[in-house]
Structure 1
C-alpha cells in the first residue's frame, strides 16, 4: 500500500480565467478500486491528465507508483493484436496474458488478427488485460463502457471487481456498483472521497442535499423575518428623525439633541439588523454549495393521427449479400418507449437507419406513417460547431427552451458563450439531446445517446422522459436507464 498525495493543486487551461481546480487537497490509497464521478466539464479527464504529467500546475502531486492510461493509444491498428500487446508491455509472459484474456472471455485467436478487425468490446478487453499485467502501476481507466453492449459491460465489470489499484471514470451506475469500493467525486464547490460504491455515495448525497434544502427553507424564513423587522425599524427611526424639526403635542420646543440621539440609536439597530440579514443570505449560499438545482421544463411532442407509427414484420436488413439484422418484428405505438437491445453487430443501428428513412436494403414488411416527423440523435458529435444560438436558429428550435434544458443538465451561462466544438464529449451529447427534445416531432430515435454523459444528468434525462412521456425508440447499454425508461424491450 502507498499513497497518492494531492496538495494545494491549482490548475487552469492557458487563456482561461477560470480555475478548474483551486487549492485542492486529498489522499488516495493505491490499493483502492476508486470510482470517479462528477458532472461533465468539471475536470475528471483533466485530473487524469495531471496525474500523467501532461500539464503544468501549481501545488504538488506525489506518488510512489507509475500511472498508465486507458484507452491506450494504438498508433498502428493494422498490426496484429499480439504486437499491440508487446508495444504496451514488452516483457509480458504469454501464459499470464492468456490468464487475463480468459477472465475476460477473449479467445487466443484474437491475438493473431489485426487489431482494427476486433470489435470495440474485444479491443477494450485486450488493452485492459495488457495494462493490468504491468507491475507497480496505478491504472487510470477513462470511460471503458462506451460502445460496449450489456454483456461485455458485465464481463469487464466482473474483471475489474477482482483487481485493485485504479481510478475508474464511468457513468454507468450498475457498472460502478459492481467494481468500486471508494468514490472520488468532483462536486459543485469541492472534491470529496467516500468509502463504498456509487449507490452508497448517491444515497449520502441525497441525504446531504435534503438537509441543506431544509436548512435553506429555515434560513429563508429567518431572512424574511429579519427583512420585515429591519424595514419596520428603519421606518421608525426615520419617523423619529423627522420630529427633530417639529414640536411636541404640548406646543413646547423639541429637544433636537435628544431626538437625534434616539434616532441614531434606531438607525444603528436597523443597520445591525440589515447586517444580520446579509450574514444569513451568505450562510444560505454556503449551505447550498453542493445542491444541483434545476428549473422545471415543458416539453411537448406532436400527436400523430393514428396510434401506430411504425410496423416491422419479419424484417431482415442486408449490406450486399451479408445479413446484418436477423428477422425482426415489432410495432411502435404512440406513447411507447422502446429499448432496442442486442449485442454489438446485431443490427440495431441498421434498423434505426431504416426507420429514419435512409436507403437500406431489406426483406419483409416495413410500414411507416405518412408525414411522420422523427428526431434522430446519432452517436457522432464531430459535426458540432459554432454558437448555441446559431445552432438553435439553424435547426429552427426554441432557443429559450433549448438553453433551459442545457441549464438543467448543468451548463453554466459562461458555457453558452463558447464554441460548441470546444465542449467535452458529454456536453456535446447533451446538445444533441436538448435539440431533440425541442423539436416538434412524433417520434424520437436515439442511438446510444448517453455515451460520455455524467450520471446525474442521466438521471435528469430519465426524469424528463418519464414526466413528459414522448414516444421514443432508443439503443442504450446503461441497464439502469433502460430499466427505468423502457415500456417495451425489443431484443435482437
Structure 2
C-alpha cells in the first residue's frame, strides 16, 4: 500500500486563458478502486495525462507506482494478439493470460488470431487483462464501456471488482456501482475523494447541495436583516449625537454614553454581517445546475409509424442476425438489444435510408419525418454556427440547448474538432432536439456523455414522450425510458 499525493496542482493548456486545475490538493491510496466522475470538459482525461507526465504543470504529484493507461495504443493490429499482449505485459506467463481471459469470458483462441480480427469488445477485454498483469502498476482506465454491449459491461464490471489499484473514468452508473469502492469527483471548484460507490457519492453530493442551498437562503435573509438593522442603528446614533448640541440644557454625558452604545451595537452587527457574508461565499461553489430541456415531437396521423418484416442485415454475404419483425407505434420508445455485431446499428441505418444490404422489408409511413443521432462524430468540424446553418436548424435555439447541457460561452468560439468526445455527442443530441420529427432514431447517444446530462435527457424523454427507436447500453438510462426491448440474436 502507498499513496498518490497531489499538492497545489495548477494547470492550463498553453493556448487557453483559463486554468483547468487551480491549487488542487488530495491524496489516494494505491489499493483503492476509484471511479472518476465529472461533467464533460472538466479535465478527467487531462488529469490522467498529468499523472502520466505528458504535460508540464505547477505543484506536485508524488507517486511510488508506475502508471499504465487504457486504451493502450496498438500500432500494428495485423500482429497476433499474443505478440501484442507480450509487449503490454512482458513478464506475464501464458497461463496467467489465459486465467484472466477466462474471468472476462474471452475464448483462448483469440491469442493466436490477428488483433484486428477481434471485435472492439474483445480488444478491450484482452488489453485490460494484460495491463492488470503488470504487478505494482496503477491502471488509469479511460472510458472502457464505449465499445461494450450490456452483457460485456456486466462482465468487465465484475472483473474490475476483483482487482485493486485503478482509476476508472466512466459515466455508466450501474457499471461504476458494480466495481468501485471510492469516487474521485471533479467539481466546479475542486477535486474531492469519497469512500463508497457512485450511488453513495451521488446521494451525499445531492444532500450537500440541498444543505448549502438552504443555508444560502438562510444567510441571505440574515444578511439583509442585519444590513437594515445596522442602517437603523447608525441613523439613531447620529440623531442622538446631534442632540448634544441642541438648544437649552442637556445632559451631554448621558447622551454621549447612549450614542457610544449605539455605535458599539452598530459595529457588532457589522462584524456579524461580515462573518455571514464570508460563510455565504464558501457555499455553492460546486453547485451543479441542470436545467430542463425541451423537445417538440410531431404527432403522426397513423398509430403505426414503421414496420420491420423479417429484416436481416447482410455483411460479406452472411446474415448478421436472425430475421426480426416488429412495429414502431406512436408514443413507443423501443430499445434494440443484443451483442455487438448483432445488427442493431444496421437496422437504424436502414430506417434512416442508408444503403445496407439486407433481406426483408422496412415499411416507413408516408411523409414521416425522422431525426437521427449517429454513433460516429468524426464528421464534426468547423464552427457551431456553420453546423447550424448546414443543418437548417435555429442557431439561437441550438446554442441555448448546448448552454443547458453545460457548454460555456467560450466553447462556442472553438472549432468542433477541438471539442471533447462528450461535447461532440452533445452537439448531435442538441441538433436532434432542435428538429421537429415524428420519430427520433438515436444510436448510442450517451457515449462519452456525463452523468448529469444523461439524467437531464432521461427527464426530457419522460416528460415529452417522443416516439423513439434507439440503441443504448447504459442500463440505468434504458430502464428509465424504454417502453419495449427488442432482442436481436446473432445469425
Give TM-score, length-normalised by structure 2: 0.90
Q: Provide the residue aligned with 2:27 in structure 1.
A: 27
Q: What is residue 374 of structure 2 aligned with on the other side?
A: 378
1:453 is the counterpart of 2:457: no
Contact 1:381 1:429 in 2 (8 A): yes
Note if 1:299 corresponds to 2:295.
Answer: yes
Question: Structure 2 matches for 1:433-452, cutoff 5 A?
Answer: 433-452=429-448
- Unpaired runs of 5+ residues, structure 2, are 248-257
Contact 1:325 1:348 in 2 (8 A): no
Distance 1:443 1:269 in 2: 68
- Return the match for 1:417 from 409, 413, 423: 413
Go from structure 1 to structure 2 and tell me whether the alpha carbon gap of 1:15 and 1:233 turns closer, same or farther (over 3 Å shift). farther
Q: Select between 332-341 and 386-395 the one with higher mean Cα deviation.
A: 386-395
Measure how far apart 1:151 and its partner are.
0.8
- Per the alignment, residue 485 of structure 1 pairs with 481
Q: Secondary structure at the match of 2:147?
A: coil
Report the aligned-residue RMSD: 3.1
1:359 is the counterpart of 2:355:
yes
For 1:162, the equivalent position in structure 2 comes to 162
Kept in 1, the 8 Å contact 2:294–2:460? The answer is no
2:404 matches 1:408: yes
Larger deviation, residues 459-468 vs 43-52:
459-468
3-state secondary structure, aligned to 2:168 = strand
Structure 2 residue aligned with 1:462, among 429, 437, 458? 458
- In the alignment, what sits opposite 2:189? 189
- Larger mean CA deviation between 289-298 and 299-308 belongs to 289-298
Structure 1 pair 27–302 and aligned structure 2 pair: CA distance change class (3 A):
same
Whole-angstrom distance in 1 between the partners of 2:268 and 2:414: 43
Deviations 1:135-166 (A, max 9, x none): 11001111111120011111111111101111
Looking at structure 2, the residues matched to 298 and 228 of structure 1 have their Cα atoms a distance apart, in angstroms, of 42
| Counterpart contact for 2:149–2:340, Cα < 8 Å | yes
| Structure 2 SS opposite 1:133 | coil
Q: Does 1:332 align with 2:328?
A: yes
How many residues in Structure 1 have an aligned counterpart in Structure 2? 482
Distance 1:268 1:328, change over 3 A: farther
- Give the deviation of 1:91 after TM superposition: 2.6
Deviations 1:386-445 (A, max 9, x none): 222332232222333322322222222222222221111011111111111111111111
Q: Shift in Å at residue 383 of structure 1?
A: 1.5
Partner of 2:339: 343
1:86 maps to 86
Distance 1:450 1:298, change over 3 A: closer
Aligned residue for 1:37? 37
User: Does the CA-based 8 Å contact 2:290-2:452 persist in structure 1?
Assistant: no
Give the Cα–Cα distance (whole angstroms) in 2 for the partners of residues 277 and 369 of structure 1.
Answer: 66
Shift of 1:464: 1.5
Mapped partners of 1:230, 1:396: distance in 2: 58
Q: Does residue 148 in structure 1 map to residue 144 in structure 2?
A: no
Distance 2:263 2:402 in 1: 46
How far, CA to CA, are the matches of 1:270 and 1:466 in structure 2?
54
Cα distance in 2, alignment partners of residues 98 and 295 from structure 1 = 48
Flag the 1:281–1:438 CA change in 2: closer, same or farther, 3 A: farther
Question: How far apart are the structure 2 equivalents of 1:441 and 1:282?
Answer: 50
| C-alpha separation in 1, matches of 2:268 and 2:356 | 75
Correspondence for 2:46: 46
Contact 2:429–2:445 (CA<8 Å) still a contact in 1? yes
Q: C-alpha displacement at 1:290, in angstroms? A: 1.2
- Maintained 8 Å contact 1:140/1:168: yes
Q: Is structure 2 residue 471 aligned with structure 1 residue 475? A: yes
1:322 maps to 318
Q: Structure 1 155/294 Cα, relative in aligned 2: closer, same or farther at 3 Å?
A: closer
Return the alpha-carbon distance in structure 2 between the equivalents of residues 231 and 329 of structure 1: 76
Q: Which residue of 1 aligns with 2:389?
A: 393
Any idea what SS the aligned residue of 1:317 has? Answer: strand
Partner of 2:173: 173
SS at match of 1:303: coil
- 2:387 alignment partner, SS class: helix
Distance 1:282 1:293, change over 3 A: farther
User: Where does residue 65 of structure 1 map in the other structure?
Assistant: 65
1:255 matched residue in structure 2: none
Question: Relative to structure 1, is the Cα distance of residues 232 and 143 closer, same or farther in structure 2, using a 3 angstrom cutoff?
Answer: same
* Equivalent residue number for residue 198 of structure 1: 198
Moved more, 369-378 or 286-295: 286-295
Using structure 1 for the length normalisation, give the TM-score.
0.89
Would the alpha carbon gap of residues 440 and 285 (structure 1) be closer, same or farther in structure 2, given more than 3 Å must change? farther
What is the distance in 2 between the residues matched to 1:394 and 1:366? 29
Contact 2:10–2:22 under 8 Å retained in 1 = yes
Q: How do 1:202-351 and structure 2 match up within 5 A? A: 202-222=202-222, 225=225, 283-319=279-315, 321-351=317-347
Q: How far off its partner does 1:339 sit?
A: 0.9
Q: Distance between the aligned counterparts of 2:439 and 2:5, measured in 1?
A: 50
Cα deviation for residue 17 of structure 1 reads: 1.8
What's the secondary structure of 1:67's corresponding residue? strand
Conserved? CA contact 1:294–1:407, under 8 Å: no
Shift of residue 274, structure 1, vs aligned partner: 9.3
Give 3-state SS (helix, strand or coil) of 1:453's partner.
coil
3-state SS, counterpart of residue 189 of structure 2: coil
